[in-house]
């Protein structure tokens, strides 16, 4: 069952009041909202699969992995070989990262993720091999539904900000943050509609 953020309606109202560009994107792509499957393990693995490849390629690999394993169950990954995962499209490096998450899961599963801060989430996840800032942002957005995340490591988000706010010209991190700060405390919601404008098919992790 998918969970929709309680703040979604208030966030849309706020964003419409502070930014006409995002307001129009909300009008154009209002439904569906961001939602979470509340499956942290699955989201972690899915985000590793999606690192540094296109969404189309990631979706294809994820579908093939789903034929091999029960996506939500860490133990199921122990039953498939590295070569089977490699044949599904994963690099050996990503397989190594996934094995590390499976090994760490007994400890990770004891953390009350919904009741620790964004920074505490970052500290816990960055300690895992293969988990960098982009992946942490995906967890904060798609699993934990944190309202105020601006993932500037995401090429799609940067591209859309540059398109809508700089006529396609490159912006540095300070300039990107200046645009995004207008959306606080609901930067996650603005980012969701930037993604929707890039690809009308809703993003999932």
**Same-domain pairing of 91 and 181:** no
The two structure tokens encoding residue 26? 């909300």
Q: Which CATH number do you get for residue 121?
A: 1.10.340.30
The two structure tokens encoding residue 43? 């989201």
Q: How far is CA 3 from CA 7, 40, 63, 189, in A?
A: 12, 13, 22, 15
What pTM, to 2 d.p., does this model score? Answer: 0.90
Alpha helices in 29-91 (DSSP H): 40-49, 55-68, 74-77, 82-87
**Same-domain pairing of 115 and 170:** no
At how many degrees (to 10) do helices 155-166 and 173-181 cross?
80
**Same-domain pairing of 129 and 71:** yes
- 167 Cβ partners below 8 Å, 6+ apart? none
> Does 183 map to a domain?
yes
User: CB atoms < 10 A from the CB of 3, how many?
Assistant: 12
Q: Which domain holds residue 16?
A: 8-35+149-198
Q: What is the CA radius of gyration of the chain?
A: 17
**Same-domain pairing of 75 and 111:** yes
**Same-domain pairing of 62 and 113:** yes
CA–CA separation, 177 and 56 (whole Å): 28
**Same-domain pairing of 139 and 50:** yes
Q: How confident is the model at residue 202 (pLDDT cuts 50, 70, 90)?
A: confident
Instruction: Look at the chain and report how many structural domains it folds into.
Output: 2
> At which of 123, 143, 163 does a domain end?
143
Quick check: bond before 131 cis, omega within 30? no
Q: What is the pLDDT of residues 135-164, one digit of tens each?
A: 999 999 999 999 999 999 999 999 999 999
What does the pLDDT read at residue 52? Answer: 85
Q: How far is CA 5 from CA 85, 93, 143, 144, 169, in A?
A: 34, 34, 11, 9, 33
Q: What is the pLDDT of residues 65-119, one digit of tens each?
A: 999 998 889 999 989 999 999 999 999 999 999 999 999 999 999 999 999 999 9
Q: How confident is the model at residue 56 (pLDDT cuts 50, 70, 90)?
A: confident
**Same-domain pairing of 112 and 44:** yes
């Amino acid at each position: 069952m998918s969970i929709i953020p309680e703040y979604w309606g208030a966030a849309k109202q706020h964003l419409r009041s502070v930014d006409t560009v995002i307001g129009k994107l909300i009008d154009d792509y209002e439904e569906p909202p961001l939602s979470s499957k509340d499956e942290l393990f699955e989201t972690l693995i899915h985000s590793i699969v999606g690192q540094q490849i296109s969404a189309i390629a990631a979706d294809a690999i994820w579908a093939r992995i789903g034929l091999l394993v029960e996506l939500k169950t860490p133990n199921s990954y122990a039953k498939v070989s590295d070569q089977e995962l490699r044949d599904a499209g994963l690099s050996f490096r990503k397989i190594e990262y996934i094995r590390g998450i499976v090994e760490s899961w007994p400890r990770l599963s004891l953390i009350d993720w919904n009741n620790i801060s964004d920074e505490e989430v970052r500290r816990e996840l960055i300690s895992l091999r293969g988990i960098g800032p982009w992946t942490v942002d995906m967890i904060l957005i798609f699993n934990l539904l944190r309202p105020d995340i601006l993932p500037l490591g995401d090429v799609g988000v940067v591209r859309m900000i540059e398109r809508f706010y700089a006529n396609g010209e490159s912006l540095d991190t300070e300039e990107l943050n200046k645009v995004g700060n207008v959306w606080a405390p609901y930067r996650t919601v603005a980012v969701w509609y930037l993604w929707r404008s890039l690809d009308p098919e809703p993003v999932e992790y």
